[in-house]
Structure 1
Amino acid sequence: MQDAGLNARPILRRADLPGDLFARDQVRLTSAAFFNLWTAIEDEARSLDPELPAPLRIAKVMTSDWFDPELFAALCSANLGSAIERIAKYVRLIAPMTIQVQRTAARATVIIDFLDQTKPPPGVFLAFKLVFFVQLARLATRTAVKPLKVAWPLSPDAPEKDTALYEEFFGVRVEDAPLATLVFGAEDFDRPFLTENHKIWLFFEPSLRQRLADLDRTASMVERVRSALVEALPAGDVSMQSVGKRLGVGTRTLQRRLQEEGTSFQHTLDTVRSSLADHYLRKTMMTSAEIALLLGFEDANSFVRAFRTWTGTTPQSVRRSAS
């Protein structure tokens, strides 16, 4: 933010966060507070220059000299594919999000989604992540990498000039889509990073692994169970025994810890499934059968019955209301 000419104090005031937040160690924010911080960054950037969105303002000053953990870990990688794979592994240190990569012989699709669906991420954060990945590729390869496709949920209130500026940066048209998405040609995705440094990565990685372990250890049991369920649901293995095994705790301990936090395993499972179902129905065109499979149900009918129990309505009604 300093490099981009953004003063931390007014940003923290806008986000209703402590003025010494960035001077503290081991700071953790709720999803809502984290998203509010990004909204405040955008608002402060607009107050300085109404014509330039914050992600592009930051991209202008983004260099390989930044000792930012995410950027540093990525620059040490062999190529963009390897960099995004590393970022995806440790992304929970940044936000409650997932990064998926789908590859074919000709292209690679990068999709950003969120584990916490209680509050949607602001457009400025999604735009920044996509800008970050493209700028990373350009910095590390010294090549004017241009994605084949760029998309995220565009706000109807967003100024047209913003879209034009983003399209100028990316070099392609920005599309409206339920999930933030980047598509790269295989050649660009595998293009060697001139900044690759395996020895420095071997020195740096243990710290990231430790931070991830610390995050899991300090998280509440409900948070840990939710994360485990999001990963396990598509495979259909959502028994208490299997989740406990993933978390390294016995079934009785898992039950007791959840009870101490005022909930139960079944309630947590239902909450996660209901939240994800609502997200898929509103943000994707997947069928009920496809959603049922992703949520670990045996068939679409079982999913529809469960959805009615959770919400009092049907998946079809939710989809119609979102269209």
Structure 2
Amino acid sequence: MLPGAFNLSDKNLLLRHGVTDLLQLAQRRGANLHKLLHGTQIFEQDLSLAESRCHHRDWLTLVARSQQLASPELPFILADSLLHNKHSSLCQSLPLAANLATSLRQLYYFRHQLLPGIFVLLRKTDSHLSIVLKPAVQLGAQQAFIIKLAMAFLVRLVQLGTQRADELNIQLKQTAPAHLAHFNSHWPCPARFSQPLDALHIPLSLWYQPFITRQAAGFRDLSRACYQLNSRLPPQRGLLELIQRQLYRALPQQASLEQLASYLGLSSSSLKRLLQQQDTHFAALADDLRCDLANLLLLQSRLSNRQLASELGYSDEHNFRRAFKRWTGHVPSSVRLW
């Protein structure tokens, strides 16, 4: 695997940073611990050790088995458990930050200590900050649950710190669940399904509002513990994150496979092979990124097709329109402005 990146077979998740919380919640809903752990490389005695880690593939297995309990509130309850996790210096520090800007910067910097399988792209306008959630590694059938978990965690954090989470807006790619009314009761703000991207839109008026729970000394001490843990953790950036971040930085230029391979210190054939192991390929990643950015720009602003094409590195607006139609089945003008 590429140095500095992790894959599904790496032990990159601390059991006490969410795995044990998920197991406890599943057991409360009638799951058997032995059956949950069966076939994984996690043993019951590992759960009590301070720095036991598990493979990311085992985390996905546990998520899949917990979802079989048909408990729609599980990602919300797990998000609450994580936010109040006494074993995670990162989670404890976030509500003690001076404001949302400081808290989210802290979460962004140390994000690999919590959910390394997710990364975010940020886009700011005059009125909002948009956080687009994307998989850092191939999450398969568990992607929707993990995106919901990350989204619920962010919303709970805003609610705890500002008590103004009703001003947020949520977009989710997944289709509306059958139990929609019950599902929506867990969000304190509007949540829309079957959307073109997974995104949380935060008014800038919340950005520097002082947190109700702020505590400067506590935040400073817990931040020090986060830095200490960083020195003991293995590389925590997923291959999909490394590639899409570099594609994002290169815009409006469209980086090639060869350029990305060179940046990562690989041959083109090696990069292709690694992407095959993630069940994807370079063109699909590039299209996925540009599709998300195009939809975000359409939602945030009234840019013309020509301006959108320029932002995303297309030679003219006709090429952009054709690409957008291929990605979404719609023309840009049909996307309703948010």
What is the TM-score with the length of structure 2 in the denominator? 0.63
Q: 1:299 aligns with which of 315, 319, 325?
A: 315
The equivalent position to 1:180 in structure 2, one of 185, 191, 198, is: 198
RMSD over aligned Cα, in angstroms?
Answer: 4.6
Task: Report the CA distance shift for 1:205/1:240 in structure 2 as closer, same or farther (over 3 A).
Answer: farther
2-structure distance, mates of 1:181, 1:284: 13
Once the 2 structures are TM-superposed, how far is the Cα of residue 62 of structure 1 from its aligned partner? 6.1
Q: 2:119 aligns with which of 69, 85, 98?
A: 98
Instruction: Give 1:155 shift.
Output: 2.4
Residue equivalent to 1:152 = 172
Q: Does the Cα contact within 8 Å between 1:102 and 1:109 map onto a contact in 2?
A: yes
Distance 1:12 1:283 in 2: 43
Higher relative contact order (CA 8 A, sep 6+): 2
The alpha carbon displacement at 1:132 in A equals 1.2
1:132 pairs, out of 134, 153, 157, with 153
Q: Which runs of 5+ in 1 are unaligned?
A: 47-51, 308-313
Query: 2 CA distance for matches of 1:74 and 1:116?
Result: 25
Q: Does 1:58 align with 2:78?
A: yes
Any idea what the Cα deviations from partners look like across 1:213-238, whole Å, max 9, x if unmatched? x216xx8xxx65x5443222131484
2:243 match: 229
Distance 2:102 2:65 in 1: 32
Q: Which secondary structure state, in structure 2, belongs to the residue aligned with residue 67 of structure 1?
A: coil
Partner residue in 2 for 1:6: 26
Match of residue 63 from structure 2: 38
Structure 2 unaligned residues grouped into runs of 5+: 1-20, 299-304
1:152 positional shift: 1.2
Matches for 1:1-323 after TM superposition, within 5 Å? 1=21, 5-7=25-27, 10=32, 13=35, 17-18=39-40, 20=42, 23=46, 25-30=52-57, 34-44=59-69, 46=71, 53-58=73-78, 64=84, 66-93=86-113, 94-116=115-137, 119=140, 121-141=142-162, 143=163, 145-166=165-186, 169-170=187-188, 172-176=189-193, 177-193=195-211, 194-196=214-216, 197-210=218-231, 214-215=234-235, 227-234=241-248, 235=250, 236=253, 238=255, 254-255=266-267, 263=273, 271-278=281-288, 280-281=290-291, 285=295, 294=312, 299=315, 316-317=325-326, 319-320=328-329
Q: CA deviation at 1:54?
A: 0.6
**CA contact 2:135–2:241 (8 Å) conserved in 1:** no
Report if aligned partners of 2:90, 2:226 keep a CA contact under 8 Å in 1. no
Q: 2:137 & 2:310 partners in 1: Cα distance?
A: 19
> Which runs of 4 or more aligned residues in structure 1 lie more than 6 Å from their structure 2 counterparts after TM superposition?
239-242, 258-262, 286-289
Q: Secondary structure at the match of 1:7?
A: helix
What amino acid does structure 1 have at the position aligned with 2:150?
A: K
How much has 1:208 moved relative to structure 2?
4.5
- Count residues with an aligned counterpart: 285
In the TM superposition, what is the alpha-carbon distance from 1:59 to its structure 2 partner? 5.1
- Give the conservation status (yes or no) of the 8 Å contact 2:306–2:316: yes
| Deviation string, structure 1 residues 15-50 (Cα, Å, up to 9, x no partner) | 8652735727332214xx54443333333362xxxx
What secondary structure is seen at the aligned counterpart in 1 of 2:167? coil
Q: Bigger CA drift: 143-152 or 4-13? A: 4-13
Q: For the residues of structure 2 that align with 1:115 and 1:292, how far apart are their CA atoms?
A: 27
Q: TM-score, normalised by structure 1?
A: 0.65
